[in-house]
Structure 1
Amino acid sequence: MNSELSLLVEKYGSPLYIFDAQNAINRIHKIQKELGCNVKLCYAIKANAFLLKALKDEDILFEVCSPGELSICQKYKVAPEKIVFSGVCKTEDDVRRAYKMGVNTITLESKAHLEYLLSVVGTEEYHSQDVIIRLTSGNQFGMSESDIYECIEKIKECSNIKIRGIHFFTGTQKKIKKISEEITFIESFCTELQEKTGVFFDSIEYGPGLGYDYFSISGESLNFENLKEFSALIKNSKYNYVIELGRFIASPCGKYCTRIMDIKTDEEANNKYIIIDGGINHINYYGQMMGMKTPKIDHIAYTRLNGADIGDYTIAGSLCTTADIVIRKLSLSSPAVGDILVFNDIGAYSVTEGIYLFLSHPLPAILLKNNDSYELLRNSMETFSFNS
């Protein structure tokens, strides 16, 4: 595999993202086997939209949170009946577009979103539209309980808006205890809501925020232990669940290759530095502030010096800021300029959350691996034109 990666870097340049389509599909199937028959899986494409092309035909839903993500779904011809259109900043035009496309579900994040939808259904060709109403968890997302009650009374008067359920999400990398508390709360809220309004639904759209362990060798097994515990919590629920997962699906499905550009030593401070052509603009592991934790990394050496000069190195990126520390301490054997460092488990968020325009560095190329073949989804792209 290392020789294959080195050839890909030679062909497409570095830094380079490689996302594994079959890995993502297999992971989805494995997750589905753990979940009960009352659960539908939903992939939050904000985690990595580049996997969408590989996943579009899977028996799952896709959460999109912006008009741009909706356009990505159109580009890859994702079936509208698989799309859940979320996001806090929808306009009436956005809602109209989703309605005319026939998306599966529109998420109502505020009273304004309902007003937009009411306007749209009053002027466009009639069809039934499912919605989910997002309950806030005490932040800028979703509605208060009183606003939800107010919206439901208005929805009662509109024959083609159907409440599919309530949407609830509080964050990522949560412990199972927190998830258990949230399930108890949201089910209780939904039951009380239906009793008071007389509007009945059987679905809860929930983002459990299952934790993904980036920094330990045993992380993969721990990840699925949490999934099994979570599945047991909702297995016998009277509600059907749509479970939103992004990070948990995409994380192990990507690699990031970056080349060693320079090696230097600060003898007075007793520090050894490796400068790579990537940096914190491309590498984003949850919980790795200022490089204080070490993810899973492979070292591809083009030359091997005599002996095994094993040392600890600080890995710094190419950005002109002291914040660009990727790893504080990485043990390597005889690293050399031109060698490649491969960051594993980088399939979620790094490719979309980076500060890509800082210092006008090029965007990395992106490959999608399909079994033994590779497809170029995006070539390396200069960014200086955006900044000038």
Structure 2
Amino acid sequence: MDHFQYKNGELYAEDVALTKLAEEVGTPFYVYSRATLERHYNVFADAVKELDSTICFAVKANSNIAVIKTLADLGAGADVVSVGELKRALKAGVPANKVVFSGVGKSRSDLEYAVKAGIRQINVESEEELVVLSDVATKLGARMPIVLRVNPNVDAKTHEKISTGKSDNKFGIDWTRAVEVYQRASNMSGVDPKGLACHIGSQLVDLEPFRAAFRRMKEMVGELRSLGLDVTRVDLGGGLGIPYEEDETPLPVEYGKLVVEELGDLGVEFEFEPGRMIAGNAGLLVSEVLYVKQAPTKTFAVIDAAMNDLMRPSLYSAYHAIVPVFEPETDEKVTYDVVGPICETGDTFAKDRKLPKLASADLVAFRTAGAYGATMSNTYNSRALIPEVMVSGDQYAVVRKRVDIEELLDLESLADWQS
């Protein structure tokens, strides 16, 4: 469920008309619904309420500080994968003791910043990282809480570019070596091993890969404890899929039951890192039709949003429902390729998509654009970074302004010999 609905024939974000935002902010823009973010967080929290747990929003899904603040006010922590995301989380009001730092390529300076910040834990992804972290923490006079991220070699059956739990993926420590590495960590001066973590991929629409990963995690916890080693935390990552089309996806309550069924007797504190599940359906991308172009074999709807604004269709061949901002008066449909203005054939949002008849100046909205939309945007073709808007009831605020070409040019300079 989301809070983007037609009212009197016009699409609204909660109680704010999208046409009002288009007039006052300009297209294209992202818009987020506070009520939807809150609802999705609470649904997930309720699904795991039987467990002692910390829910850490995956900042990579949507890194806007207004989004993070909305969730932090509900009690959410943050899962970050860079110092930049860590700084965002802290600025948004996430307590340091609710931040976990994941990621396969943390530099020495990244680790030093995280240790000094006093975050909850670092999810260590390799033996090499473990050695560097222990050295960094020892020199700072600290003993950093860690969990080892395990690669359980489980096929999540998702898109190859967002699969993270197979042995040929770059993430985590192979499960066959995790116990040995944990033993090594327990003898290091700069780290305090707390447990294990796993994250097998994103947009999972089947619970069985989760079950396989959970069982492997449970086996390793048992083995570690049999060796006299403490295990007090298990981080289960995120990855729960959401419906981009009309397909059915597991409900959070079903996921929560699975965790209780497979791991509920471990006597540990759990950490969860949902991102897409919370933010995905809480956002739209709104764009204006520039032209309807008739080619010999295609009809193109050329819009003012482009692949640099929403990368998922060009990067993953991902589907987003596209709807008119004004509710159609008839059931007439036309088959379009919906494309942007960038000089790449890959700048295509939809092929052979049946949509209500479109014309120049019409507004369209891309649904389920709240995750991996603005956070992946870029300035290819020297295009502006587009605004992000947050709606709460009948109020709205621009929570990231449009970053135009003049501001981008100010970041550059001529070489000394060119001036």
| TM-score normalised by L of structure 2 | 0.81
CA deviation profile, 1:297-348 (whole Å, cap 9, x unmatched) = 321249x99x875322221111111111211133333322111101111111
Check conservation: 2:339, 2:347, Cα contact below 8 A: yes
Give the letter for the 1:254 counterpart.
Answer: G
Check conservation: 2:138, 2:189, Cα contact below 8 A: no
* Alignment of 1:278 onto 2:291: no
- The 2-side partners of 1:156 and 1:332 are apart by 59
Distance 1:124 1:298, change over 3 A: same
Task: Report the more deviating stretch, 222-231 or 56-65.
Answer: 222-231
1:203 to 233, 253, 270: 233
DSSP 3-state at the match of 2:55: strand
Check conservation: 1:314, 1:329, Cα contact below 8 A: yes
Distance 1:234 1:371, change over 3 A: farther
Check conservation: 1:111, 1:147, Cα contact below 8 A: no
Distance 1:280 1:233, change over 3 A: farther
The corresponding residue for 1:180 is 211
Q: What is the deviation of 1:219? A: 4.6
Q: What is the deviation of 1:223? A: 3.9
Check conservation: 1:290, 1:324, Cα contact below 8 A: no
Check conservation: 1:34, 1:231, Cα contact below 8 A: no
* Alignment of 1:367 onto 2:406: no
CA deviation profile, 1:105-143 (whole Å, cap 9, x unmatched) = 1121222322233223323244x5321111134222222
Task: Report the more deviating stretch, 9-18 or 376-385.
Answer: 376-385
Q: What is the deviation of 1:148? A: 4.0
- The 2-side partners of 1:30 and 1:110 are apart by 34
- The 1-side partners of 2:140 and 2:264 are apart by 40
- The 2-side partners of 1:146 and 1:224 are apart by 30
| TM-score normalised by L of structure 1 | 0.87
The corresponding residue for 2:4 is none
1:227 to 255, 275, 283: 255
The corresponding residue for 1:255 is 284
Task: Report the more deviating stretch, 22-31 or 237-246.
Answer: 237-246
CA deviation profile, 1:74-93 (whole Å, cap 9, x unmatched) = 32232101110122222222
CA deviation profile, 1:208-264 (whole Å, cap 9, x unmatched) = 521212011x657x5446535534534633243212211111111101100000012
- The 2-side partners of 1:290 and 1:160 are apart by 44
* Alignment of 1:98 onto 2:114: yes
- The 1-side partners of 2:181 and 2:253 are apart by 39
* Alignment of 1:339 onto 2:339: no
The corresponding residue for 1:59 is 75
Distance 1:161 1:289, change over 3 A: closer
Task: Report the more deviating stretch, 280-289 or 139-148.
Answer: 280-289
- The 1-side partners of 2:331 and 2:144 are apart by 65
DSSP 3-state at the match of 2:358: coil
Distance 1:214 1:93, change over 3 A: same
- The 1-side partners of 2:179 and 2:332 are apart by 67
The corresponding residue for 1:322 is 345
The corresponding residue for 2:97 is 81
* Alignment of 1:13 onto 2:16: no
- The 1-side partners of 2:333 and 2:36 are apart by 33
- The 1-side partners of 2:286 and 2:103 are apart by 32
* Alignment of 1:237 onto 2:268: no
DSSP 3-state at the match of 1:140: coil
Check conservation: 2:186, 2:193, Cα contact below 8 A: no
Check conservation: 2:54, 2:98, Cα contact below 8 A: no
Q: What RMSD, in angstroms, separates the aligned Cα atoms of the two structures? A: 2.8
Distance 1:281 1:373, change over 3 A: same
Check conservation: 2:136, 2:190, Cα contact below 8 A: no
Distance 1:262 1:103, change over 3 A: same
Runs of 4+ in 1 over 6 A off after TM superposition: none
The corresponding residue for 1:349 is 372
Structure 1 unaligned segments of length 5 or more: list them: none
The corresponding residue for 2:400 is 378
Check conservation: 1:276, 1:315, Cα contact below 8 A: yes
- The 2-side partners of 1:184 and 1:150 are apart by 19
Task: Report the more deviating stretch, 137-146 or 106-115.
Answer: 137-146
- The 2-side partners of 1:19 and 1:201 are apart by 39
1:119 to 120, 124, 135: 135
- The 2-side partners of 1:113 and 1:61 are apart by 24
The corresponding residue for 1:22 is 35
DSSP 3-state at the match of 1:49: coil
The corresponding residue for 1:41 is 55
- The 2-side partners of 1:322 and 1:297 are apart by 19
Give the letter for the 1:179 counterpart.
Answer: F
The corresponding residue for 2:321 is 296
Check conservation: 2:59, 2:78, Cα contact below 8 A: yes
Check conservation: 2:337, 2:348, Cα contact below 8 A: yes
Structure 2 unaligned segments of length 5 or more: list them: 1-6, 154-166, 414-419
Give the letter for the 1:237 counterpart.
Answer: D
Q: What is the deviation of 1:149? A: 4.4
Check conservation: 2:146, 2:195, Cα contact below 8 A: yes
- The 1-side partners of 2:91 and 2:114 are apart by 15
Check conservation: 2:30, 2:387, Cα contact below 8 A: yes
* Alignment of 1:156 onto 2:171: no
* Alignment of 1:358 onto 2:383: no
